[in-house]
């Protein structure tokens, strides 16, 4: 599950409290940076942008750097395209895992390849936003660039109750994208269940959290729990979004002995997971010092020491997956055919 918060909303202090409280209940966070004009967001998120914009960009990035989680920055490309290198560098310094531009595919399709390349060069992952009106050919292009995840917004704007067939939309995009598929934009409880049944890897929760926050952090946590339960989700992801070995990630190829390594961004407590699966499973994350067992011979073991944690971009974690010849290490996102259970993800 991905939890969305606007940086600094409703207040800087409450934002940080909310981020800390929500972190154990989601797999990643999407943090909104107020743009000049949020044309693909609904009224609730727009109001949060208006309130947070008075804080100032420098202070917003300081607040974001205090959020210790896997996190993706959301802002409009139209706001930063003239200073994209500077913007991406600021995300890297604030500890972000990736970047998401809701207007990239819609308004800047010709820039997709260049922007995705710059994001990767900055040491970040690409989360690419697509909509029901995105042509199949463009979806495939976005899929190739999305080394983080593909975000399907099922409605024209966040929090706007337009009738849609979530299940049919997810099936269409699932057939076009082999990587991580996250679904959002005003999902109701029954639509969350339908999205996961149809093949979504996770859902994003935003408007409902922002509506709950002024009533207290506990209210927001309860919203996240209800959405997770609607998807039948229990526990957390096996690995960071878009990491090697996740669905569509860069793991060892089928037929290889299979050894893949990836980082766990966000600066969490050091840990390591080693897995030996019957093929597609490979390594999976477990809590620090815990042991986890999975079907089909998958096994994770958390080690209680932190002597050799090294990762790209300075992150202190690393994981390895091993699979026997013919299986390929860390292919597939805890392949649902093997694990036999759909879990609510972040997005």
Helix (H, G, I), strand (E, B) or coil at 345: coil
pLDDT-based confidence at residue 233 (cuts at 50, 70, 90): low
Residue 91, pLDDT above cutoff 70? yes
Instruction: Specify the pLDDT at position 154.
Output: 87
Residue 86, pLDDT above cutoff 60? yes
13, 20, 41, 201: the catalytic one is 41
What is 44-88 written as a DSSP string? HHHHHHHHHHTT-HHHHHHHHHT--S-EEEE--HHHHGGGHHHHH
Q: Cα 130 to chain center, whole Å?
A: 14
Q: Does residue 30 have an active-site annotation? A: yes
Which parts of 278-325 are beta strand (E)?
Answer: 291-293, 299-302, 319-322
For the chain, the first-to-last Cα distance in angstroms comes to 6
Instruction: Specify the pLDDT at position 101.
Output: 98
Give the predicted TM-score (pTM) of the model. 0.70
**Maximum Cα interatomic distance, the chain, rounded to a whole number of Å:** 57
pLDDT tens for 236-261 read 454 566 655 555 443 333 333 333 33
13, 20, 27, 30: the catalytic one is 30
All structural domains of the chain: 2-230 (3.20.20.70), 243-339 (no CATH)
Q: Nearest 5 degrees, angle CA 45-CA 48-CA 53?
A: 125
Q: Does residue 41 have an active-site annotation? A: yes
Question: Rounded to an integer, what distance in angstroms lies between the CA atom of residue 232 and that of residue 212?
Answer: 22
């Amino acid at each position: 599950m991905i939890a969305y918060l606007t940086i600094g909303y409703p207040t800087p202090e409450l934002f940080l409290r909310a981020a800390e409280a929500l972190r154990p209940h989601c797999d990643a966070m999407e943090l909104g940076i107020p743009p000049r004009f949020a044309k693909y967001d609904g009224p609730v998120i727009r109001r949060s942008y208006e309130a947070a914009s008075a804080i100032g960009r420098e202070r917003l990035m300081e607040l974001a750097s205090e959020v210790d989680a896997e996190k993706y920055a959301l802002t409009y490309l139209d706001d930063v395209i003239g200073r994209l290198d500077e913007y991406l560098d600021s995300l890297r310094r604030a500890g972000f895992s990736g970047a998401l531009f809701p207007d990239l595919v819609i308004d800047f399709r010709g820039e997709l390849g260049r922007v995705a390349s710059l994001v990767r060069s900055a040491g970040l992952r690409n989360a690419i936003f697509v909509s029901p009106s995105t042509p199949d050919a463009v979806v495939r292009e976005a899929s190739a660039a999305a080394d983080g995840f593909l975000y399907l917004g099922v409605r024209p704007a966040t929090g706007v109750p337009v009738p849609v067939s979530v299940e049919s939309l997810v099936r269409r995009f699932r057939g076009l994208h082999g990587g991580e598929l996250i679904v959002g934009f005003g999902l109701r409880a029954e639509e969350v269940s339908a999205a996961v049944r149809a093949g979504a890897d996770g859902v994003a929760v935003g408007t409902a959290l922002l509506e709950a926050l002024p009533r207290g952090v506990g209210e927001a946590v309860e919203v996240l729990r209800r959405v997770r339960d609607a998807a039948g989700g229990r526990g957390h992801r096996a690995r960071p979004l878009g990491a090697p070995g996740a669905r569509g990630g860069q793991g060892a190829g089928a037929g290889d002995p299979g050894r893949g390594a990836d980082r766990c961004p966000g600066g969490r407590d050091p840990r390591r997971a080693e897995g030996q699966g019957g093929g597609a499973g490979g390594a999976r994350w477990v809590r620090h010092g815990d042991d986890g067992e999975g079907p089909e011979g998958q096994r994770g073991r958390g080690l209680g020491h932190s002597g050799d944690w090294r990762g790209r971009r300075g992150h202190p974690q690393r994981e390895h997956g091993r699979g026997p010849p013919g299986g390929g290490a860390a292919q597939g996102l805890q392949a649902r055919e093997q694990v036999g259970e759909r879990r609510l993800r972040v997005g």
